[in-house]
Structures are given as C-alpha cells and as structure tokens.
C-alpha cells in the first residue's frame, strides 16, 4: 500500500494526536529503560509488542509501516473499536510488527523501539493520528525526533538509538522474516491465527473473521 508520501491523506482531527500525546506523557518511564536506569538490550528493544492479554485465545498480528496512510486509517478508524470489542475483553491480543516501507518509517520504528514498552503503543498511536503533520514536514525524520523528545527520549538517547545498527538490523531481519513466512507484500497486513489478510479492513470485516475463528 502507498506510504504517506504518495497520494492524498485523509484529514484527521487534531484532537486525537493531542490526547494520545497526553496519555503518553502521563505514563512514567519504566525502570529498566529509563534514561537513568541502565540501557535496554537489543533483544529487549526488539521484543514483541503485545496489546491485550498475552494468553488471549486469538492472536492478531499487524504488519505496519509508520508512513503508510492505510495503516494510519486503520489505527484511527478501526483499531479503537477492535480494541474495545476484542482486545480489552480478553478475546484477542494484538501483536504489532514493524514493516517499514521507507527510511523514514524505519527511523520512526527505531525511535518507537527505544521507548520503554509501556510507552510504545501510545507513541505509535500518536504518530499514526498525526501522520499527515510530521510526514509533510521539510525533514520528517527531524519531526519524528521532536515527537520522540516529547515522549521522553533525550537527544543523546535518540542519537544512540539511531546509530544502533544492531537494532536497525533486527527490525529489518524481522521484516524479512514476516515477508517470507506470511508472504507480506504491503501494509497493513494482518495475520489472524496463521491466516493472512492484506489491507486496512473495516471493523465489520474484522468482526466476521474473528467470530469465525
């Protein structure tokens, strides 16, 4: 699917990214990854990001790119109801996996992975709901850095994360693994209990698929 740098992007309300940012800033830094509490290992930063009960009977895997407008559409228009009806009720868990379509998306994925795990989802939600703004900046990577600073990362931490080749290589390796294992060719693509479903499906379609599991 096209990235935010091609085609028209739907205009989202500005209140969503502001609320997401507020939620992000209210979450305290986790001790294991706080700026004064030691450096997270590469394995910790590359760990699965799971929303919901890890023991939920249904697993939904989302392969996404931060510069993909269709991914943003899913996160803004479908994910809230999916979370309410399936994730928060314990019937399904959502696993988010990076599938960066370009260097800007990879840069954003690195920054998101450098945040403590309890800030990851709020940060991604903020970037998705405000995608039009930062993606159209003169230098989107500088804009992403600014968002990461607001989320609690210092300039030194950002520079260290961006220079961390092991983290970047790990993200790309997992992208290749998903491409080979599930035949991922575009974003967003969802894998629901081993079956692949490409495209930003509306909630009604998700609901039908999940009820059939």
Q: Is the pLDDT of residue 12 over 50?
A: no
Q: Count the residues in the chain.
A: 213
Q: Is residue 108 part of a domain?
A: yes
State how many domains the chain has.
1
Q: Is residue 163 part of a domain?
A: yes
Closest CA to 119 of 209, 23, 43: 23
Q: Is residue 4 part of a domain?
A: no
Q: What is the mean pLDDT of residues 111-115?
A: 97
Task: Give the max Cα distance, the chain.
Answer: 48
Phi/psi at 191 (5° precision): -115, 115
Report DSSP state, residue 204. Answer: H
Q: Is residue 36 part of a domain?
A: no
Query: Radius of gyration over alpha carbons of the chain, in Å?
Result: 16
Closest CA to 47 of 122, 97, 106, 102: 97
pLDDT bucket at 36, cuts 50 / 70 / 90: very low
Q: Is residue 21 part of a domain?
A: no
Q: What is the pLDDT at residue 100? A: 98
68 Cα distance to chain centroid: 11
Q: What is the mean pLDDT of residues 132-154?
A: 97
Closest CA to 46 of 150, 164, 197: 164
Which CATH number is 114's domain given? 3.40.30.10
What pLDDT, in 10s, does the model give residues 180-208? 999 999 999 999 989 999 999 999 999 99
Q: DSSP of 120-133, one letter per residue?
A: HHHHHHHHHHTHHH
Q: Model's pTM, two decimal places?
A: 0.82
Q: Is residue 206 part of a domain?
A: yes
Query: Distance (Å, rounded) from C-alpha 58 to C-alpha 3?
Result: 29
Q: What is the mean pLDDT of residues 143-148?
A: 98
Q: Is the pLDDT of residue 26 over 50?
A: no
pLDDT bucket at 7, cuts 50 / 70 / 90: very low
Q: Is residue 152 part of a domain?
A: yes
Sequence-distant (6+) residues with CB within 8 A of 54 are 93
What pLDDT, in 10s, does the model give residues 163-175? 999 999 999 999 9
């Amino acid at each position: 699917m096209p990235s935010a740098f091609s085609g028209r992007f739907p205009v989202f309300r500005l209140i969503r990214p502001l609320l997401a940012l507020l939620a992000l800033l209210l979450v305290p830094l986790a001790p294991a990854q706080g700026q004064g509490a030691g450096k997270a290992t590469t394995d910790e930063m590359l760990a699965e990001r799971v929303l919901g009960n890890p023991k939920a009977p249904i697993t939904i895997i989302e392969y996404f790119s931060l510069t993909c407008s269709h991914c943003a559409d899913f996160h803004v228009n479908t994910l809230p109801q999916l979370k309410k009806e399936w994730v928060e009720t314990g019937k399904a868990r959502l696993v988010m996996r990076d599938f960066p379509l370009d260097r800007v998306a990879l840069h954003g994925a690195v920054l998101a992975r450098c945040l403590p795990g309890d800030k990851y989802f709020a940060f991604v939600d903020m970037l998705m709901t405000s995608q039009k703004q930062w993606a159209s900046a003169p230098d989107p990577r500088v804009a992403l850095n600014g968002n990461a600073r607001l989320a609690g990362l210092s300039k030194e931490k950002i520079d260290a994360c961006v220079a961390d080749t092991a983290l970047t290589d790990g993200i790309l390796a997992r992208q290749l693994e998903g491409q080979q294992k599930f035949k991922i060719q575009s974003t967003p693509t969802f894998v629901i209990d081993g079956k692949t479903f490409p495209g930003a499906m509306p909630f009604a379609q998700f609901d039908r698929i999940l009820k059939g599991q």
